[in-house]
A = this chain, B = another copy of it.
């Protein structure tokens, strides 16, 4: 019995999320904003990657904003604010992913007029966000070499659905003795033309190529 209730409830939650996600996307596009959902493992460097992009967009005169999703605290939000861009903080409490409803509220509170790009940093997690589209144009999955060479094959679903796969902290590959090629190979097994990018966000390497692919260079 529980199983059935659970499955029905789950289906309702997912279809409600998908509907709100569509509304979010429509709202963002209506304002001429291109939007990205940064999913990825915890500590993989999502925040720093977004910070690098904010700096570049600032220099180009493009107006970007960022929503920080975390279980608790405002570390990432504070980092975004330092770049002088509109930012919003979302704490999920015990939830391991953002959902479209939370983004809907965030968008209501943000001034969207004049913005060009919206970055949303999801909760660091390679499982939970999979089923919850937020209503962005594209989704990235960011991992780092420091997590080991088995991250892709351990989480096939989220990588199969990603628009961009980012392997970060490649500057540490030698120190950690992890070959990024293994991660690329595993991604190619899932998707022969997987859009994989190697980055070193700390030193800004690989970020322009990724931004070009994202259409925001």
Contact = CB atoms under 8 A, between A and B. Distances in A.
A153 interface: yes
Contact of A175 (B9, B127, B175): B175
A146 B175 CA distance: 11
Given A42-B126, A43-B41, A125-B127, A150 B73 contact: yes
Contact of A169 (B128, B146, B155): B146
Interface residues of A, number: 42
Contacts of A176: 146, 169, 172
A148 interface: yes
A70 B151 CA distance: 11
A2 interface: yes
B2 A42 contact: no
B96 A150 contact: no
A206 to B, nearest CB: 18
A144 B169 CA distance: 14
B95 A127 contact: yes
A6 B75 CA distance: 31
- Which interface residue of A43, A71, A73, A75 has the most chain B CB atoms within 10 A? A43
A124 B144 CA distance: 14
The 10 A-B residue pairs with the shortest CB-CB distance, nearest first, are: A43-B147, A146-B146, A96-B127, A75-B150, A43-B148, A41-B42, A175-B175, A73-B154, A73-B153, A96-B128
23 contacts: A5-B5, A6-B13, A41-B43, A42-B151, A43-B151, A44-B147, A70-B154, A71-B126, A71-B154, A72-B157, A73-B153, A94-B127, A94-B130, A94-B131, A94-B157, A95-B127, A96-B125, A96-B128, A123-B127, A146-B146, A146-B147, A146-B169, A175-B175
Interface of A: 2, 5-6, 9, 12-13, 41-44, 70-73, 75, 94-96, 123-128, 130-131, 143-144, 146-148, 150-151, 153-157, 169, 172, 175-176
